[in-house]
Structure 1
Amino acid sequence: MDGTDLAKIVMNPVRMRIAQYLLLHEHGTTVQIGEELSDVPKASLYRHMRILEDAGLIQVVQENKKRGTVEKVYKLNQDNPLDSKEPGKEEIGQLIHSSLLGIMGEFQRYLKRDDVDPRKDMISLSSVVLLLSDEEFQEFFGKLGELYSSVLDHQPDGKRKPRKLTLISSPVTEEKKKKEGLGREERKC
């Protein structure tokens, strides 16, 4: 299986959500993942899990016997087959497209709920164009990584709730630089 095939497997929105779950929780059973992805039918979830396992993107780390069946505990494969492949323009474009569709899907599911309150839920959208050298940009990302690391291991305490923060670094076209210049655009709902 080449990098293009693997990229297509990963770029499915449901499989991306499975990978995100395993990234966040380190491991999980199909039942646990299904509780988080409650909008995905069970049969579809099992099919997506099998596809990810067959592709070598997730692996079974434990098997538990439960009521005459075997429950598998999965984790992301540390030897990710995608890591050894250099993605081409098409794969990168598909990954970006799929990621953005996944984010849009999460917002659609959020907006279908009865208890939607964007201000209370602190939904925001922020965009800024920074003028940084490659070294400054790497240092900036390093500091962001440290900030993320400082809160990644927080445990539930009654006040905390899951919050998803998506960071996208995108190119700035020459046309956009001329029209908009540097600065910040922020929208809070």
Structure 2
Amino acid sequence: MESADLLLHPVRLRIVQAFLGDRALTTGALAAELADVPPATLYRQVARLVDAGVLQVVVEQLVRGAVQRTYTLRASAAVITPDQVAAMSAADMRQAFVAFVAGLLGDVDRYLARDAVDPVRDGANFRLAGLWLDDAEFTTLLQDLMRVLQPAAAKPPGPGRKRRILATVMLPGEEATPSLPGGEATVAPRGGEATVAPRGGEATVAPRGGEATVAPRGGEATVAPRGGEAKKPTRRKRRTT
């Protein structure tokens, strides 16, 4: 079974999410966290993940005459490759996202079920932002995020530390070229200026203090800093994070 088929099962994905952060859990502790999953289903899916090498047994001990196993996640095995993602259909992607959100809802429910919940004190929050970035800027953003997150992700459990759940969703939005009546315009960042082109022309965005030109259809519009040379504008997309 390919890792995509293995991991995108709704119950198996929630099991994997429960182990994130170098956690070691017994099936009993896992069952307490995924209380809505029937025990027989949970044990069967844990066994599937062990057989596939995604979970590994790190401790075995006798508890009241029965063998109790403690598992950890093999993060290197819990990976869906870019090629597998590219081969997914829209229905596959929707199913995967539903399973992903279901795991997050379980985490939220467990947090809200605690005594004396204080989201401000606990740093619990969720936010949505729209960013205008071209492909190169988006790649740079992802690289910057990885540089910040990798040292934090490498920290092991320790005194005073809490497991923090960080979930990310990246979605491409529309191009930065909304139409205006009678013409076409681009969207300017704060502090910039947008120009409007007559129908059949193209408009560009100039930073404050620069100049934007309008090109007829089939031509190219340029942006020049005041007194400088003109450059081709970069087409940006709205990215939802």
Q: When the two structures are superposed, what TM-score results if normalisation uses the length of structure 1?
A: 0.68
Structure 1 unmatched ranges of 5 or more: 184-189
Figure out how many residues of one structure are paired with residues of the other and give that number: 173
Q: Partners in 2 of 1:62 and 1:125 — Cα distance?
A: 34
Aligned to 2:74: 76
Q: Which residue of 42, 45, 48 corresponds with 2:42?
A: 45
Displacement of 1:170 in angstroms is 1.6
Question: Deviation string for 1:11-41 (max 9, x for gaps)?
Answer: 31x422321344421x745x1x643662335
The equivalent of 2:106 in structure 1 is: 105
**Of the two, which has the highest radius of gyration?**
2
Q: Secondary structure at the residue paired with 2:133?
A: coil
TM-score by length of 2: 0.56
Q: How far apart, in 2, do the equivalents of 1:23 and 1:125 lie?
A: 19
When you count helix as a share of all residues, which structure comes out higher?
1
The structural deviation recorded for 1:148 is 0.6
Is 1:143 aligned with 2:119?
Answer: no
Counterpart in 2 of 1:123?
Answer: 124
Match of 1:89 in 2: 90
- Select 1:58's aligned residue among 51, 54, 57: 54
Q: Pick from 11, 17, 20: which aligns with 2:17? A: 20
Aligned residues of 1:61 and 1:73 also touching (Cα < 8 A)? yes
Which one has the bigger strand percentage? 2
Instruction: Indicate how the Cα distance of structure 1 residues 133 and 146 shifts in structure 2: closer, same or farther if over 3 A, else same.
Output: same
The share of aligned pairs that are identical, in percent, is 23
Give the C-alpha shift of residue 64 in structure 1: 4.3
Aligned-partner Cα distance in 2 for 1:106–1:79: 23
Higher relative CO (Cα under 8 Å, sequence separation at least 6) belongs to 1
CA shift for structure 1 position 81: 8.4
TM-fit CA distance, 1:63: 7.1
Deviations 1:136-185 (A, max 9, x none): 111111110111112123344543212111111123247xx78xx889xx
